Amino acid sequence: MATRYEYGGDEFVFVELAETMNSEANFRGVAITQELKEKKVEGILDICPSNASYMVRVDPEILHPNELIEILKQIESAISLEMEIVSRAVDVPILFEDPWTHDALMKSRDRHQDPQSTDIEYAARVNGYESKEKFIQDLTNYPFLVSMIGFVPGLPFCFQMVNREQQIEVPKYVRPRTYTPERAFGFGGAFACIYPVQGAGGYQLFGIAAAPVFDRDQKLADFKDSMVFPRQGDIFRYRSINRDEYEQIRREVEEGTFRYKITDITYTPQEVMENPKKFSEQVLGRLYRD
């Protein structure tokens, strides 16, 4: 589809790059919004990138939205998917089928498509898996791109870096839950996420993250620069752990000593899209070698 530009009142311009989420649209959005930030155009108040779109807030007394749209069109015409993205690969430990999210999902079966199964059993079945163990294996074999941050502060929307035919997809609940535990690992549509705080939610619940993605008081070293840990463009590898490792990480979090395993990486969108399997293997090799 052609890029669609819309007005949001007097102060906002909304730009839709694609009708469905795909890696190319996300990378184009990253490239455009990064270039716009670097230009430091007077009158721009905020830039909000999303999965396959972005929104820009302006002061119309300084910069008319029509002028902004012309700037955005010029940027889009000049961007290249061979641009370099400087980012991080992060090991994210997940306890699958934990007792806390299990309790939450079992209390919400009347809101689910299949009240007779757990969320992970249902997700495995609708994706054609014979067992939930193989389903978990495929979730953890390949890393996820953090495509945007939103909904609540610190919640990462994550898109698995695999070929389209390998993409895991599950519908959200028929009606959202009123309770979701903090750090719950959920999946809806083609996106994985970690709920940063306790609250409502409609994603299927598969497990719980051992470490936080949101630290309001910034007690942990990984949150020194921001109370939100994930960044758009990060690559998360969700790693399955057992209860003992989960409890050990929780103790480290409480003591203030926990650190995420992080490796700085540089990549181009082009190499990701040309061979996502090869790229994923390279990322995991770097992450667990360093």
| Class of the CATH domain delimited by 4-79 | alpha beta
> Contact 26/232 with Cβ under 8 angstroms?
no
Closest by Cα among 92, 87, 36 to 236: 92
Count of helix runs (H) and strand runs (E) in the chain:
8, 14
Cα–Cα dist 57/62, whole Å: 12
Classify strands 4-8 and 53-58 as parallel, antiparallel or unpaired.
unpaired
Burial tier of 17 (Cβ tally within 10 Å: 0-12, 13-18, 19+): buried
DSSP string, 226-284: -SB---TT-EEEEEE--HHHHHHHHHHHHHT----EEEEEEE-HHHHHH-HHHHHHHHH
> Contact 177/201 with Cβ under 8 angstroms?
yes
Q: What is the dihedral of CA 133, 141, 146, 194, to 10 degrees?
A: 30
Q: Which residues contact 111 (CB under 8 A, 6 or more apart)?
A: 173, 174, 175, 176, 177
Quote the DSSP letter at residue 223: G
Chain region(s) in the chain for CATH 3.30.1360.40: 4-79
Chain region(s) in the chain for CATH 2.40.100.10: 86-289
Closest by Cα among 145, 89, 92, 143 to 290: 89
Q: What are phi and psi of 194, to 5 degrees?
A: -120, 120
pLDDT in tens, 73-113: 999 999 887 888 889 999 999 999 999 999 999 999 999 99
What pLDDT does residue 290 have?
66
Cα–Cα dist 95/279, whole Å: 26
Regions of the chain short of the pLDDT cut 50: none
The residue type at 220: L
> Contact 216/238 with Cβ under 8 angstroms?
no
Cα–Cα dist 223/212, whole Å: 10
Domain 86-289: homologous superfamily in CATH: Cyclophilin-like (2.40.100.10)
Cα dihedral sign for 241, 243, 244, 246? positive
Closest by Cα among 25, 17, 4, 26 to 157: 26
